Chain A
Amino acid sequence: SQTIHQWPATLVQPVGSPLSLECTVEGTSNPNLYWYRQAAGRGLQLLFYSVGIGQISSEVPQNLSASRPQDRQFILSSKKLLLSDSGFYLCAWSESPWQSYLNTEAFFGQGTRLTVV
């Protein structure tokens, strides 16, 4: 069965420090991978999605970047955190259309609560 791991669960970082959040998926291959941010009162905002190794699409301009060095690994990074980067970050995966035949849903990690101080 497929599982998704996301860590760390909580993180407190000073302004200006770097960030690296990691997400890995097991039990599937070539998944679509997503990073979302949930800020208070703003719902779940799609930050990045990836359809394959090295293929990253950015949905919103921001202080963050994403990378996919391996098929089932998705990393969210920042060189210098801002106070406004605080929030709840959620990784998710779904099957690619070639696997799901247009019937697919997303599966979520447990999330990372990031507080920038």
Chain B
Amino acid sequence: AQSVSQHNHHVILSEAASLELGCNYSYGGTVNLFWYVQYPGQHLQLLLKYFSGDPLVKGIKGFEAEFIKSKFSFNLRKPSVQWSDTAEYFCAVILFSGGYNKLIFGAGTRLAVHP
């Protein structure tokens, strides 16, 4: 079955630490890939997206992600986190199959950044 897996459910970091959140998907066809962030009490916000081309994608707020097709992965990174990055992060994939596409999400990773 098609799925998106986020390896870490909870991550705790200190400010200035580096961040890497894992995301893997199970689907052999064409995909578009996304990372969303949800700050406490707020709606989903798109961090970055990958459609095609350069597998290293830069997004807002200093985030970047790398698509590794052979590993079916799209990990999110940030070199130095800030307290304001405390939020829940969702990896999402649009799968293309025949005449439709379907958007599915990972279960999310809660990031807490301590000053």
Which residues on the A side are within 8 Å of B101 (C-beta)? 32, 94, 96-97, 100, 104
Which residues on the B side are within 8 Å of A36 (C-beta)? 105
Contacts between chains A and B (CB distance < 8 A), count: 65
CB pairs A–B below 8 angstroms (5 shown): A43-B106, A46-B105, A97-B96, A105-B34, A106-B34
The one of B49, B103, B108 that contacts A34, using a Cβ cutoff of 8 Å: B103
Residues on A facing B (Cβ under 8 Å):
32, 34, 36, 42-46, 49, 51, 90, 92, 94, 96-98, 100, 102-106, 108, 110-111
| Interface residues contributed by chain B, number (CB under 8 Å) | 24
**CB proximity of B78 to chain A, nearest CB, Å:** 20
Residues on B facing A (Cβ under 8 Å):
6, 30, 32, 34, 43-44, 46, 49, 51-52, 90, 92, 94, 96, 99-108
CA distance A21 to B101 in the complex (A): 23
Which residues on the A side are within 8 Å of B94 (C-beta)? 94, 104-106
Which residues on the A side are within 8 Å of B51 (C-beta)? 102-103
Which residues on the B side are within 8 Å of A51 (C-beta)? 99-100
Instruction: Please determine whether B105 and A111 come into contact, CB atoms closer than 8 angstroms.
Output: no
Instruction: Please determine whether B99 and A43 come into contact, CB atoms closer than 8 angstroms.
Output: no
**CB proximity of B43 to chain A, nearest CB, Å:** 7
**CB proximity of A47 to chain B, nearest CB, Å:** 11
Which residues on the A side are within 8 Å of B43 (C-beta)? 108, 110-111
**CB proximity of B24 to chain A, nearest CB, Å:** 15
CA distance A98 to B99 in the complex (A): 7
Instruction: Please determine whether A105 and B32 come into contact, CB atoms closer than 8 angstroms.
Output: yes
